[in-house]
Structure 1
Amino acid sequence: MAKQFSYGKEEKLKSRKLTEQLFSKGKTFTVFPLKVFYMPVKEELDFPVKAGVGTGSRNFKKAADRNRVKRLLREAYRTEKNALTDYARANQKHVAIFFLYIDKVLPEYTLIKSKMPLAIGKLIKQLHEVAVANT
């Protein structure tokens, strides 16, 4: 069992195949400045939720700025992910998600920290709606 606020290797979205499927076949929604790609996964993963973060090089030319944004996204996800992992475990679901920062301005941590719970809450709601529609 993973520690409550960890974001270890088994939780990270590393599979190229799964990432390509996520961007091509997955669903998306926006909680500005975050764009969330998600896809329920049929096969069993080693962790209920696989998550990735990123930002575009079009918006941030310097790698140091892109790395800072990704670090802030990872930290916000790490502290707010418990509701999502609890939902996935309780319903025996496996989900791949990717958080993309789409604003052109370097964010403050407080902005990312305030938007991440909204994005995760909306994601849980949409996953629940899909589950109800399939039954």
Structure 2
Amino acid sequence: MEDKPNFSYSRAEKLKSKKLFEIMFTEGKSVANFPLRVIYVKTDFKDNVPIKAGVTVSKRNFKSAVKRNRIKRILREAYRLNKSIVINNSTDKYALLILYLGKEMPESHVIHQKMEVLLEKFVKKISQEPIKQIPKEVS
């Protein structure tokens, strides 16, 4: 039988730790592919998940919560469909925060293409450089 790729984005894979968010903004490294940027830190999780990801959209650029939530939905869907790029090419565990930097409402197909390129850039970058690991009990 063939292994089917896992296209789920379960609760355990969602980034929710406030401590980890703070660490990501202070010590995290980033990769960008406009209008997206991913901030990441190498870490270890208690629940043994390879990657935890979160998405965010600036309230400054999008005052309407409806628009912000729509963009976040598009970002999560694009990540869900392309996360296998990271999982299949990484042996370490990472926390990712995907930011939308644009000032206009994006089209879904554009975000999907940009997300794929962004995650490939991320994999290329992590394979080239060693990253110090955040302590185990942060998540």
Indicate whether the TM-score tops 0.5. Answer: yes
Q: Which runs of no fewer than 5 residues in structure 2 stay unpaired?
A: 132-139
Q: Which runs of no fewer than 5 residues in structure 1 stay unpaired?
A: none
- The one-letter amino acid paired with 1:75 is E
Structure with greater helix percent: 1
1:49 to 40, 48, 51: 51
Partner deviation per Cα, 1:17-75 (whole Å, 9 max, x = no partner)? 1111111100012100001101111x344211010001000000100000000000000
Is 1:20 the equivalent of 2:22? Answer: yes
TM-score for both structures, normalised by structure 2: 0.86
Supply the distance in 2 between the matched residues of 1:113 and 1:45 (Cα, whole angstroms). 30
TM-score for both structures, normalised by structure 1: 0.88
Same amino acid, percent of matched pairs? 42
**CA root-mean-square deviation:** 1.5
Supply the distance in 1 between the matched residues of 2:93 and 2:31 (Cα, whole angstroms). 19
Supply the distance in 2 between the matched residues of 1:105 and 1:45 (Cα, whole angstroms). 38
Misfit runs of 4+, over 4 Å: none
1:102 alignment partner in structure 2: 101
Query: Would the aligned equivalents of 1:45 and 1:94 in 2 still touch at CA under 8 Å?
Result: no
